[in-house]
Chains A and B, each alone.
Chain A
């Protein structure tokens, strides 16, 4: 039994409608309680900003493709090298750091829950192995279904229940959290070196379109009663003029769920491009944000680009090949049989570069133009737009017009005619930032019920105390203080235990893997379905019995069982 009291905390807890109240937070055995005894360990927050632990609803930190990013980039490891000390392992890497480095850096910024954005089911074991080497955050994995043969066949047959049954079986088997679609249909086409340009193209050999896949998956997701909605990386990422495809996709989405969105569209910055080629490239954040504002069933995340070196990695194999042809630097590709693909290339976003400057503007425009902060979440699609350590700078950019203008003055001069950023006056407040970095993310992921993203009684005691005195700082003017304050917590508390303090890692830690196990009726159990098992044993290169992730790969874990309607 352990007790902790965070005293004199200036709390912003949007889910519980607390917006700047000085209070004490009592913690017992990892959960927030009404009160604790006199022997509790006391952390005096001294009136500093105290938020629920940060939640990243879309990041790439663990698994095959992330590790390949590390494997192919010893030059990236030359940055971020720190010596082993105390409980802390040696670290290396900047854009694709080691698991420990990721975990420590997120912890120092007050983040306690992460969603790995893309896990290929066939390689799920790898993701879970890395989860157990990411000690200071609770982890979830979105599972890729964009090129899943069984799903596409069921969609072609119009059998949505079968789609749900396949998704349900797979999530249970690979201990996944939610449904991820990355360039649906496009990754299958890439198997033969082709791509799909938008939602109405037909996937070669399978007779379905991305639109059909997306619509079916949204329905299947609700049939399975998954906590999170379908999580979509739209077709046609990164190409001039793709905003039309993005809006077309959004318009497909029905409103099916009262408690959360029906579609989470990720890194929308990369999907809000105008122009007909790179020469006429421009921002279309406005029509995209307008669409989002009109469709409450959609939540997006920014996918903000920040200047500097990084590594792009995505299941979107064909897109990465196009990037490779543009940059002619190194390129890795990894197609996963019957399921998905992936690609990795290093990039350098430069202020001098017009396209890069426009990309940087678009992300900020989206965040400022989407009226409801619960529906545009703060991400960089780590590390695609930038490594997550840039989040504090993004927060400052959103809170300060002055900072945006100062930065805008340093980017490519021709950017001005292609974007609307300089015209946007909005400056976010503390509460909006708290929504965009934890409360909104937890709600979108459907994990508030398991005590994430808020500080109410019974919530997991994941708490971030920042060295920021809300009343004493003017974020619009003193943006450097915002950057510094959000870079390093005074305390990060994970499950009731202080894990970081003033830039120091205090414990080795042990995370929880959160996964979803939909309860499906026996007649929809795919493990006995002859067609499904036949497909497995004929075309996969592993036997069906060797495919599911064994329990021993999940050390500490939280299984969310859902009552599926099939």
Chain B
């Protein structure tokens, strides 16, 4: 069977032009996807955990869904500071149920945002976000800046769908008419096609951004001959390219959010873009990783007022990244039970967090055997949104996409499982 215009549930690009051919529960062909997406989709039905598993006196054993759900509700109800973490690779509907459950439990709910673009959000909260949808960039931008990111490896179709290689309505020969600036601490493959490759010394992004802001404002006189490994000549060239563009689009990745200064780097990038808007049109977009991490921010925000790291322990929503974020909670050994949904802290959190995670009661809701599996006490496999479950996801630019289903493997969805846990919780803690 051939499925057209399918949506790729891998990264924040949410490409929606995939063609997937299935035979029974096998995927035999995937067209238009990048290597990451097609790898995920070609293996759609494979490597799934067959059913729930639980730890019992030092051994793993199979369990029923009912038993696992009962266990999950129990540990969450017993906890003084339960953590509900993950939420990026799942449906918006499951995220909403998760928020309501965290609220009733008096728990902390956080998404993978906190170890990805959380700092971007902190920056946006200080100075706002001059952004646009990706089609706007595709049709208009004659200058693309990639800063602290590597689209070739992390968002392989970003350049062909939305920037360098995409057709643009207002550009006659889009590929030739669009300039490309790449800023990074290391010379990646993307550098070879860039008009300017700016190699910044690690940790120097903030200084380079400040220098560019000063130059755009006409204050090049104060800027020293080199800034974090970048010559003043190059900074002047880059600033001129930006001002001369009719429409500039800056994309940035975790190179800014994870480096020293974290959100202050992003704030500086935003303020550079604000400054450039006094001269021309300029926009900025964070390159979001998980296909629906932005959705978790959207859902959390309309329900609680905050995009991630929401602490409901006092029955009101409290937000303070650094205090209510998952890594910090685990590092301080605060959480005394955890529900991990559609994410893999086992692979992506520092080791000391994992030591704590392994020492408390925990349930993982994930279709696959992941690095988190060995650390939890119980795992419940579910359908994969975008393969055997439909659902809502938000693209990196905020465009909501209905992700479609093309397989039927008989697994319950995340929304169903979390809904059932929530029902159990409600039986004990009446709203």
A and B touching (Cβ–Cβ under 8 A): yes
CB-defined contacts of A75 to chain B, threshold 8 Å: 125
Q: Does A74 contact B (CB under 8 A)?
A: yes
Q: How many Å lie between the Cα of A542 and that of B18 in the bound state? A: 11
Q: How many Å lie between the Cα of A75 and that of B319 in the bound state? A: 10
Stretch at the interface among B55-63, B126-134, B205-213, B250-258: B126-134
Inter-chain contact A331/B319, CB cutoff 8 Å: no
Q: Does A70 contact B (CB under 8 A)?
A: yes
Inter-chain contact A74/B103, CB cutoff 8 Å: no
- B269: min CB distance to chain A, Å: 14
Q: Tell me the A97-134 residues at the B interface (CB within 8 Å).
A: 97-101, 122-123, 125-126, 129-130, 133
Q: Does B312 contact A (CB under 8 A)?
A: yes
Q: Tell me the A22-78 residues at the B interface (CB within 8 Å).
A: 62, 64, 67-68, 70-77
The 8 closest A-B pairs by CB, nearest first: A337-B135, A92-B305, A193-B281, A330-B128, A541-B135, A335-B132, A77-B305, A125-B400
Q: A333-B130, A546-B401 are in contact. Are A83 and B121 (CB under 8 A)?
A: no
Can you list 7 contacts pairing A with B, beta carbon distance less than 8 Å? A98-B304, A192-B246, A321-B277, A332-B128, A334-B129, A545-B4, A553-B402
Q: Does B162 contact A (CB under 8 A)?
A: yes
Q: Tell me the B265-285 residues at the A interface (CB within 8 Å).
A: 274, 277-278, 280-281, 283
Stretch at the interface among B66-74, B295-303, B329-337: B295-303
Inter-chain contact A193/B401, CB cutoff 8 Å: no
Q: A98-B304, A540-B135, A546-B401 are in contact. Are A73 and B129 (CB under 8 A)?
A: no
Q: Which residue of chain A is the closest to B246 with respect to CB atoms?
A: A192
Inter-chain contact B306/A77, CB cutoff 8 Å: yes
- B428: min CB distance to chain A, Å: 16
CB-defined contacts of B140 to chain A, threshold 8 Å: 191-192
- A121: min CB distance to chain B, Å: 11
CB-defined contacts of A126 to chain B, threshold 8 Å: 298, 394, 398, 400
CB-defined contacts of A73 to chain B, threshold 8 Å: 125
Q: A82-B316, A191-B140, A330-B128 are in contact. Are A100 and B303 (CB under 8 A)?
A: yes
Inter-chain contact B401/A90, CB cutoff 8 Å: no
From B96, B121, B167, A71 is in contact (CB under 8 Å) with B121
Q: Does A338 contact B (CB under 8 A)?
A: yes
Q: Tell me the B343-398 residues at the A interface (CB within 8 Å).
A: 392, 394, 398
CB-defined contacts of A193 to chain B, threshold 8 Å: 247, 277, 280-281
Q: How many Å lie between the Cα of A62 and that of B169 in the bound state? A: 31
CB-defined contacts of B259 to chain A, threshold 8 Å: none
Inter-chain contact B402/A125, CB cutoff 8 Å: yes
Inter-chain contact B305/A93, CB cutoff 8 Å: yes
Q: Does A345 contact B (CB under 8 A)?
A: yes
CB-defined contacts of A469 to chain B, threshold 8 Å: none
Q: Does A543 contact B (CB under 8 A)?
A: yes
Inter-chain contact B303/A546, CB cutoff 8 Å: no
From A84, A101, A192, A335, B103 is in contact (CB under 8 Å) with A84
Inter-chain contact B398/A333, CB cutoff 8 Å: no
Q: How many Å lie between the Cα of A77 and that of B140 in the bound state? A: 36
Q: A191-B140, A193-B277 are in contact. Are A74 and B316 (CB under 8 A)?
A: no
Q: How many Å lie between the Cα of A71 and that of B399 in the bound state? A: 15
Inter-chain contact A90/B317, CB cutoff 8 Å: yes
Give me 10 other A-B pairs in contact (C-beta within 8 A), A72-B124, A333-B128 excluded. A62-B302, A67-B301, A75-B125, A84-B103, A89-B103, A332-B124, A332-B129, A335-B131, A335-B136, A542-B399
Q: How would you classify the secondary structure of chain A's contact residues: helix, strand, loop or mixed? A: mixed
CB-defined contacts of B398 to chain A, threshold 8 Å: 64, 68, 123, 126, 334
Inter-chain contact B306/A74, CB cutoff 8 Å: yes
Q: Which residue of chain A is the closest to B131 with respect to CB atoms?
A: A334
Inter-chain contact A541/B401, CB cutoff 8 Å: no
CB-defined contacts of B170 to chain A, threshold 8 Å: 205
Q: Which residue of chain B is the closest to A76 with respect to CB atoms?
A: B305
Inter-chain contact B133/A337, CB cutoff 8 Å: yes
- B105: min CB distance to chain A, Å: 11
Interface flags for B289-328 (1: CB within 8 Å of A; 0: not) read: 0000000011101111111000010111101000000000
CB-defined contacts of B167 to chain A, threshold 8 Å: 538
Q: Does A459 contact B (CB under 8 A)?
A: no
CB-defined contacts of A71 to chain B, threshold 8 Å: 121, 124-125, 297-298, 301, 307
CB-defined contacts of B400 to chain A, threshold 8 Å: 123, 125-126, 129
Q: Does B424 contact A (CB under 8 A)?
A: no
Inter-chain contact B16/A99, CB cutoff 8 Å: no
Inter-chain contact A345/B399, CB cutoff 8 Å: no
Q: A83-B315, A321-B277, A542-B16 are in contact. Are A335 and B302 (CB under 8 A)?
A: no
Q: Tell me the A312-330 residues at the B interface (CB within 8 Å).
A: 321, 324-325, 330
CB-defined contacts of A539 to chain B, threshold 8 Å: 135, 138-139, 169
Q: Does B420 contact A (CB under 8 A)?
A: no
CB-defined contacts of B4 to chain A, threshold 8 Å: 545
Q: Tell me the B136-176 residues at the A interface (CB within 8 Å).
A: 136, 138-140, 161-162, 167, 169-170
Q: How many Å lie between the Cα of A66 and that of B274 in the bound state? A: 21
Q: How many Å lie between the Cα of A333 and that of B133 in the bound state? A: 10
CB-defined contacts of B169 to chain A, threshold 8 Å: 538-539
Inter-chain contact A133/B316, CB cutoff 8 Å: no
Q: Which residue of chain B is the closest to A321 with respect to CB atoms?
A: B277
From B127, B247, B277, B319, A330 is in contact (CB under 8 Å) with B127
Q: Does B5 contact A (CB under 8 A)?
A: yes
CB-defined contacts of A62 to chain B, threshold 8 Å: 302
Q: Does A245 contact B (CB under 8 A)?
A: no
- A409: min CB distance to chain B, Å: 36
Inter-chain contact A331/B136, CB cutoff 8 Å: no
Q: Does A257 contact B (CB under 8 A)?
A: no
From A68, A129, A541, B134 is in contact (CB under 8 Å) with A541
Q: How many Å lie between the Cα of A192 and that of B132 in the bound state? A: 12
Q: Does A4 contact B (CB under 8 A)?
A: no
- A124: min CB distance to chain B, Å: 8
Q: Does B419 contact A (CB under 8 A)?
A: no
Q: Does B431 contact A (CB under 8 A)?
A: yes
Q: A70-B305, A541-B134 are in contact. Are A331 and B402 (CB under 8 A)?
A: no
From A82, A83, A122, A325, B133 is in contact (CB under 8 Å) with A122
Inter-chain contact B130/A74, CB cutoff 8 Å: no
- A133: min CB distance to chain B, Å: 6
Q: Tell me the B83-137 residues at the A interface (CB within 8 Å).
A: 92, 96, 100, 103-104, 121, 124-136
Q: How many Å lie between the Cα of A125 and that of B431 in the bound state? A: 29
Q: Does B33 contact A (CB under 8 A)?
A: no
CB-defined contacts of A64 to chain B, threshold 8 Å: 398
Q: Which residue of chain A is the closest to B139 with respect to CB atoms?
A: A539
Inter-chain contact A336/B133, CB cutoff 8 Å: yes
Q: Which residue of chain B is the closest to A100 with respect to CB atoms?
A: B303
Q: Does A344 contact B (CB under 8 A)?
A: yes
